[in-house]
Amino acid sequence: MDAAVEPFKARRLYLLLRDRIAGGDVAAGSRLPGEPDLAAEHGVSRVTIRRALDQLAAEGLVERRPGVGTFVRAGGMMAPTVVDFADVFSHLKEMGRRTEVRLLAFGYVQPPAAVAEALGLAAGERAQRAVRVRQMNGAPFSHLTTHVPERIGLTYSEAEMASQPLLTLLERSGVGVARARQSIGATLAGPDVAQALSLEIGAPLLSLTRVVEDEEGRAVEHLHALYRPDRFAFQMQLQRTGADGARRWSPLPPLAAKTEETATSRTTRSKRKSSS
């Protein structure tokens, strides 16, 4: 068998077993079939089976007990961090309090042309660049590269960047953050990002680019964020608006969305009580 094919088969089997665990097809605490049985079922070698099971174990989804077998761990699937796309600024500060961050790089550089243009920098003007990995309970879920105009970046230190949300540092420097424009897409993990996020090279990622502006419309931050889709998700609550014949879906204002969500939760609790 072509040795180059084996890693791809192991990846395919890992994803298949992971989906079964996530979907509840394989219950927590249950024992997976042995390596010979899995190899026969999927038509692959036992080496491929071990690679797939090792990856599941590395993510805490299964426990491998020598001489006993491989068992699905209870609570192994980590619930993804969910951010309201319509209220992103509020969630940024909250995320800073609930998660940990590792600062991988910090310095002053000539930014790429696209970043310099987005920030409105003059020719030769430098930007403060930081690369961070955000994680929850030790599990990394985002890789963040930020560029801030040098005049603003000089107002905070590398140590502060490693311990505080950038939005907090910007506001402390006197920047009145007012608005942002952002876009979301998809990409594949390169070697550095894959290592930082505990992924294989080429793994799919959510990609977000955000340009933050102050009250005068000047760009004060450029963010390029990469997220593990199994550990991070965006959501947006929508409502039907417009006159008959021109109805459309529109974002629900954050406060209204929270009020509606609370009301729904209360209704659900009331139904549970009445049925019990």
> Can you say whether residue 111 is alpha, beta or left, with left for phi > 0 and alpha for psi between -120 and 50 degrees?
beta
84-140 pLDDT, tens per residue? 666 555 555 566 567 789 999 999 999 999 999 999 999 999 999 999 999 888 889
Model pLDDT, residue 152: 95
* Cα distances (Å, whole numbers) of residue 185 to 125, 190, 206: 29, 16, 6
Domain boundaries, the chain: 6-72, 81-235
Structure tokens at 197: 């996020």
Beta carbons of 119 and 152 less than 8 angstroms apart: no
Which residues are registered as beta bridge partners of 70?
A: 64
Structure tokens at 276: 């019990």
H or E element: which one contains 190? none
Structure tokens at 201: 């090279």
Beta carbons of 208 and 182 less than 8 angstroms apart: yes
The verdict on domain 6-72 having CATH code 3.40.50.150 is no
Q: How many residues does the structure list for the chain?
A: 276
H or E element: which one contains 273? helix 254-275
**Residue in this structure with the two tokens 């209204």, named with its chain if needed:** 256
Report d(CA 106, CA 149) in Å as an integer. Answer: 13
Model pLDDT, residue 55: 85
65 φ/ψ angles, rounded to the nearest 5 degrees: -110, 110
Which residues are registered as beta bridge partners of 239?
A: 250
Q: What's the predicted TM-score (pTM) here?
A: 0.71
H or E element: which one contains 116? helix 113-119
H or E element: which one contains 90? helix 88-98
Which regions in the chain score pLDDT beneath 50?
A: 1-2, 4, 257, 261-265, 267-269, 271-276
Beta carbons of 206 and 105 less than 8 angstroms apart: no
**CATH fold match for the domains 6-72 and 81-235:** no
Model pLDDT, residue 243: 83
H or E element: which one contains 159? helix 158-161
| Residue 254 DSSP SS3 | helix
| Residue 150 DSSP SS3 | helix
Its CATH class, for the domain covering 81-235, is alpha beta
